[in-house]
Chain A
Amino acid sequence: MTKQEWPLYEVFIRSKSGLSHRHAGSVHAADDEMALTNARDTYTRRNEGVSIWVVRSDRIVASDPAETSAFFEPAEDKIYRHPTFYDIPDEVDNL
């Protein structure tokens, strides 16, 4: 008999107001509500959270690591996007 397990959910926690959600790990749950409470019980036992997002793992769309160079390198060529590209005299404030 094959056992059917509860689906896997990825858990994202915002630990303090003002910060972004960060990936904390995963939990198994039978439904979305359970995923939320399981995530709370697992990842915020020491008051580490103000907001929790859970997403079924199979709904996450991710970039392919094998395509890393094609996906990310073209951005590396456009160095004018970085502030360090520009030479501003020291005397000019607020730039």
Chain B
Amino acid sequence: MTPDDALTRYVTRLGDNALVLGQRMIELVAASPELEEELASANFSLDYIGQARMFYTCAGEREGAGRDEDDFAFLRPEHEYRNLLLVEQPNGHFGDSTVRAVLFESFYVLLLDALTHCSEGGVAEIAVRAIKEVRYHLKHSSQWLVRLGDGTEESHDRAQQSLDSLWRYTGEMFVADEVDAIVRDSFAGPDLEAIAGQWRHAVTAIVNAATLDMPDDGWMATGGKEGRHTEHFGYLLADLQIMQRTYPGQAW
């Protein structure tokens, strides 16, 4: 593939991560443990949907085939979404969604930081906006993980279980494929190997502050970047796409 192709796919993947995580967080509406948390969670969902829109619009413009943000969001088949498996995991309980947030956002903030230096101006611009939002999310989610880890015995156990069960989805974030390599080499994009070390350092600090144990690296799930999803994804897409699939080509 050409470097331009690679960057377009890369930007689409960023949109996919944001859309899928935003969609998962939306499912938490009216289910938060406290009213103030509803407001925070909705803010984060809005941020992610906003980022998805920016990334998809950028991808559509780069592609030049007339696709807009909704075409990317609603009209692709399952294997064309290339999000990380971590963000499509179901919400579970508050511990699960908090751990998912900490693990992904610790990575995402480093990724976005690197992307602010991307030689493709449009992408750098989006990264500059998104990183402000994600830094605030990460602060929120890591503070919560500390409260859960260092709260009651029950919250500690639940948080540890969440960490243990989601850990297998973290490896995928740092495995560079052809698209990652081209973006790194041709567009001053992120170096996933370097990010991996920084991520581990940051996550270790949060996990320690939460009095939790770092899980051992075992088998890691992969496939997201190739469009091979977990079983959960089909249901998420069914919900997401139903209106556009049932009433094709109409305006809303």
Interface residues of A (CB under 8 A from B): 6, 27-30, 33-34, 37-38, 41-42, 45
Contacts and interface: CB of A to CB of B under 8 A. Distances in A.
Q: What is the interface of chain B mostly: helix, strand, loop, or mixed?
A: helix
Interface of B: 34-36, 39-40, 43, 139-140, 143, 147
A38 B143 CA distance: 13
A37 to B, nearest CB: 6
Contacts, number: 25
Contacts of A38: 36, 39-40
A91 B247 CA distance: 78
B140 A37 contact: yes
17 contacts: A6-B34, A27-B36, A28-B34, A28-B35, A34-B36, A34-B143, A37-B139, A37-B140, A37-B143, A38-B36, A38-B40, A41-B39, A41-B40, A41-B43, A42-B39, A45-B39, A45-B43
A27 B140 CA distance: 17
Contact of A28 (B36, B40, B43, B147): B36
B40 A37 contact: yes
Nearest to A42: B39
Given A30-B147, A45-B43, 6 more contacts: A6-B34, A28-B35, A37-B40, A38-B36, A41-B39, A42-B39
A41 B43 CA distance: 8
A31 to B, nearest CB: 8
Which of B39, B143, B147: most chain A CB closer than 10 A? B39
A28 B43 CA distance: 18
Contacts of A30: 147
A42 B38 CA distance: 10
Nearest to B44: A41
A38 to B, nearest CB: 4
A33 B40 contact: no
Nearest to B136: A37
B143 A42 contact: no
A84 B184 CA distance: 73
A43 to B, nearest CB: 10
A54 to B, nearest CB: 12
A27 B38 CA distance: 13
